[in-house]
Amino acid sequence: MLCYTKNIMTIIKKIVFLLCFVLCLASCSQYQKALNSEDVTLKYKMADSLYSIEKYNKAIRLFEQIAPGYRGKPQAEKMYYMYAMSTYKEEQYMMSSHLFERFVAQYSYSQKAEEAWFLMGKSYAELSPRYSLDQTDTYKAVDKLQQFINKYPESEYIKEANAIVAELNQKIEKKHFENARQYNTIAGYTRDYKAAIVALDNFLIEFPGTIYTEDALFYKFDSMYKIAVNSVPDKKKERLNQAKSAYDALTKFKADTKYKDKAVKMLADIEGELHKI
Rounded mean pLDDT of 1-30? 47
Q: Average the pLDDT over each of 36-50, 74-88, 198-212, 245-259 and give the range with the smallest value.
A: 36-50
The answer to whether the beta carbons of residues 274 and 231 sit under 8 Å apart is no
User: Are the folds of 31-172 and 175-276 the same?
Assistant: yes
What pLDDT band is residue 237 in, cutting at 50, 70 and 90?
very high
Inter-residue contact 184 to 200 (CB < 8 Å): yes
Residue 117: CB atoms within 10 A of its CB come to: 25
**Average pLDDT score over the chain:** 89
271, 237 Cβ separation under 8 angstroms: no
What gap in Å lies between CA 200 and CA 185, rounded to an integer? 12
Instruction: Tally helices (H) and strands (E) across the chain.
Output: 12, 0
pLDDT surpasses 80 at 2: no
CA 132 to chain centre: 13
Is pLDDT at 205 greater than 70 in this prediction? yes
* Structure confidence at residue 11 (pLDDT): 47
- Of residues 87 and 27, more confidence is placed in 87
pLDDT in tens, 98-119: 999 999 999 999 999 999 999 9
Alpha-carbon radius of gyration of the chain: 31
Q: What is the helix (H) or strand (E) element at residue 236, kind and residue range?
A: helix 233-253
Name the CATH code of domain 175-276 (choices 2.60.34.10, 3.60.20.10, 1.10.357.10, 1.25.40.10).
Answer: 1.25.40.10
Q: Top-level CATH class of 31-172?
A: mainly alpha
| Predicted local confidence at residue 28, as pLDDT | 57
Give the model confidence (pLDDT) of 25-84 as tens digits: 444 578 888 778 888 889 899 999 999 999 999 999 999 999 988 887 888 999 999 999
Question: What is the rounded distance in angstroms from the CA atom of residue 97 to the CA atom of residue 59?
Answer: 18
Cβ-based neighbours of 256, under 8 Å, separated by 6 or more: none
Q: Where are the domains of the chain?
A: 31-172, 175-276
Could you tell me what percent of the chain has a pLDDT over 70? 90
Instruction: Output the pLDDT for position 229.
Output: 93
Q: How confident is the model at residue 273 (pLDDT cuts 50, 70, 90)?
A: confident
234/149: higher pLDDT: 149
- The 3-state DSSP class for residue 156 equals coil
pTM: 0.80
Higher pLDDT, 74 or 217: 217
Instruction: Please give the average per-residue pLDDT across 163-178, as a whole number.
Output: 96
Q: Considering only CA atoms, which of 154, 77, 86, 150 is closest in space to residue 119?
A: 86
